[in-house]
Amino acid sequence: MIRPVTRLPRQNPPLSIRQFLGVDVTGTRDVRRSPAMMNCVLDDEGTPEMRTGYEKLFATSLGAGAILGIHKWIDTDSTTIRIIHHGTKLYIYDTLGEQPVEAYSGMAASKSISFMLATKLCILDGTNFIVFNGTTFVTAESIAYIPTFLIGTPPGGGGTRVEDLNLLQPRFKQKFSTVAATKTYQIHGAPLDALEFVWLNGALKTVTTDYSVNLTTGVLTLVADPGAGTNNLEVQVKKDSYADASRIKKCHVAHVYGGPNDSRVFVTGNPDYPHIDWWTGLPLSGAYDPTYWPDTNFDRIGGDTDPVVGYAVQYDRMVVLKRRSVYLRNWSIEEDAYGRTVTHFPSVPLSRERGAYSAGSIQILNNNPVFLSDEGVYEVVGTNVRDERNVSPISSLTGIKAVGVGEGIDYKGKYYLATTGGTVWVCDYNTFVQDEATGRYQPVWYPWDNLPVNVWAEDGDLLFGSNDRGMVYRVKPKDGSDLYPYNDDGAVINAYFSSIITTFERDDQTKLVQSLIIGMKPWNQAKLAVEYATEEGSSGVVHTERMDLFDYGVVDYGDWSYDTNRTVRAFKVRVDDARNIQRFQVRLTSSGVINEFFGFSSIDITYQNLSEVR
């Protein structure tokens, strides 16, 4: 009698995941990606583990409300003074951990930005322009450069224009070449508000005793014959209408740029002139001066309905990012209408495909500018010719949108972008994954939550100013300096990872999933909870694996262990109710206990194909 042969399903090789490639919400079939992960980082091997937490930078909050700016003044000998903007005040401290002390009052309660030029730290908040020299805070207007407007002026007026008027300064100087026996000299700009100083042959003269002036006509009359001379009579004049400091003070975006050098500062963001920016000038001395803003140094970039948002400098060119377009600024040295050799900074359209959502998101990554737009994060990839392809998406796998803070920072090979509700997206821009829809490669991204970021800063460590607590926080490094790095200022960090919903590359067959083998990363106290899901529903937590390693520095007598084996530990989880299924997903979560680590290096899923789907 011939017996029928029953063929058992063939055991398939395990589905093994050894490298992980961040978040992908597009429905990918690549098992290395995750549709949902939180509060993880990918280590150098590309495997997930819990991010480190953050701690207070100093003991006592500065009060309710957001930290509006974190700034640094650095002297030529690297002496550093740190400055925090909170409310309407500036606070200073010398070393990390030191309690900041109030140093200046009168700021606007809005975000501030800063730049360093010529050993001066300049802070703009959209209302004020403050300068710090390492000792005192003063308004920029109070120390603004006084330009020498005209030289070689004959008695009747005129002369050669050598410097432009300063928007921050109502004063200017004028030099006359005196003529023997001529005592009257015509000052530029009548009517005048004041004649403040008169020098003749280098000597300061006294009103009434040495001269008189008619402010209405601008005529200066000397008491004595000055004799003949060249540029030997100098006056300092005040004319209030020549200054318009609000054009600069209302700006809230700044970037140092000078073409082939860092000799100037560009500012923009004035709501009264949304498409205009201004830049500093070089005084006759050639010194860099952040208080000299020539009234001719401005540019109208595109239309006024498309405001300038921010800047990025790429080599010797500046990328100007507007709300709905991108421009490219270059530089050239030319002769102007007055015969002076000047540097021009013309700008031309580069792309109208996308624009920037926030100035704070703009960074240079791998030599290319990146920025947050309405539809995600984009990269400027070409600046030689105008082309819509010059702007390319680098976050289309993530679903990132322009909401909330929009503040970014480049720190140790990663780009951190704070959006809304405490969410921070981390971009590992040295690891790439392919967008299956377009074929383009993009950097790997993953999200964190519960980080109340309003502004970022780097000061050896990664810092952020809170959005409501009056506190600056330090993100803890994983370098052994902190025995308990896995908490957010004493709060639990909840981490999880979900695999894709896989069909094991056979949509046409049912499967039997038999077990999971997880490679658990070592830490003093660690825990992994395992669950899975099929088209039938979720299993809930089916297994919890714990690891306790002996360490004198972090002894926990409630979870005592003599184990010192700090290598990856594999554990197996039996799967009991995943027969005749088509789709399968693994979910790993942290314990929800403060300071307990979460991390794994591999996932292996053992399974069999069963039969054709009917």
Give SS3 for 359: helix
What average pLDDT does the segment 384-390 reach? 63
| Fold (topology level) of 15-49+495-612 | Jelly Rolls (2.60.120)
**Measured at the alpha carbon of residue 284, what is the angle toward residues 278 and 285, in degrees to the nearest 5?**
110
Say if strands 148-153 and 171-176 run parallel, antiparallel, or are unpaired.
parallel
pLDDT band with cut points at 50, 70 and 90 for residue 614: confident
What average pLDDT does the segment 493-499 reach? 98
Q: Which amino acid is at 513?
A: V
pLDDT band with cut points at 50, 70 and 90 for residue 404: confident
DSSP state of 553: G
Residue 483 scores a pLDDT above 70: yes
Instruction: Name, in order, each residue with C-beta under 8 angstroms of 31's C-beta and a sequence gap of 6 or more.
Output: 15, 17, 499, 500, 502
pLDDT band with cut points at 50, 70 and 90 for residue 560: very low
Residue 286 CB coordination number (10 Å): 8
DSSP state of 275: T
pLDDT band with cut points at 50, 70 and 90 for residue 602: very high
Residue 74 scores a pLDDT above 70: yes
Residue entry with tokens 């809304």:
420
Confirm if 226 and 200 have CB atoms less than 8 A apart: yes
Confirm if 584 and 534 have CB atoms less than 8 A apart: yes
pLDDT for 49-62, tens place per residue? Answer: 999 999 999 999 99
pLDDT for 342-385, tens place per residue? Answer: 999 999 999 998 999 999 999 999 999 999 999 999 999 876 65
The pTM of the full predicted model, rounded to 2 decimals, is: 0.93
| Distance (Å, whole) CA 113 – CA 263 | 19
What average pLDDT does the segment 505-529 reach? 95
pLDDT for 303-351, tens place per residue? Answer: 999 999 999 999 999 999 999 999 999 999 999 999 999 999 999 999 9
Residue 563 scores a pLDDT above 80: no
- 451 exposure class (CB count in 10 Å sphere: 0-12, 13-18, 19+): buried
What average pLDDT does the segment 509-518 reach? 96
Task: Determine what percent of the chain is predicted with pLDDT higher than 70.
Answer: 95
- Phi, psi (deg, nearest 5) at residue 289: -135, 110
Residue 216 CB coordination number (10 Å): 9
Edge to edge, what strands does the sheet with 54-56 contain? 54-56, 472-475, 461-466, 453-459
Q: What is the reported pLDDT for 403?
A: 83
Residue 482 scores a pLDDT above 70: yes
Q: What is the reported pLDDT for 549?
A: 81
| Distance (Å, whole) CA 455 – CA 452 | 9
Q: What is the reported pLDDT for 390?
A: 86
Give SS3 for 572: strand
Q: Which residues in the chain are classed under CATH 2.60.120?
A: 15-49+495-612
Q: What is the reported pLDDT for 388?
A: 58
Q: What is the reported pLDDT for 317?
A: 95
pLDDT for 200-255, tens place per residue? Answer: 999 999 999 999 999 999 999 999 999 999 999 999 999 999 999 999 999 999 99
Edge to edge, what strands does the sheet with 347-351 contain? 308-314, 317-322, 326-329, 347-351
Q: What is the reported pLDDT for 565?
A: 67
Residue 398 vs residue 549, higher pLDDT: 398
Residue 525 scores a pLDDT above 80: yes
DSSP 204-244: EP-BTTTEEEETTTTEEEESS---S-SS-EEEEEE-GGG--
Structural Rg of the chain based on CA atoms: 33
Q: What is the reported pLDDT for 365?
A: 97
Give SS3 for 599: strand
What average pLDDT does the segment 264-278 reach? 98
What average pLDDT does the segment 291-301 reach? 98
- Look at 60-64, 489-493, 506-510, 527-531 and tell me which has the smallest mean pLDDT: 506-510
pLDDT band with cut points at 50, 70 and 90 for residue 559: low
The whole-chain average pLDDT of the chain stands at 94
Using alpha carbons, select from 470, 464, 472 the residue that is nearest to residue 86: 470
Q: What is the reported pLDDT for 535?
A: 95
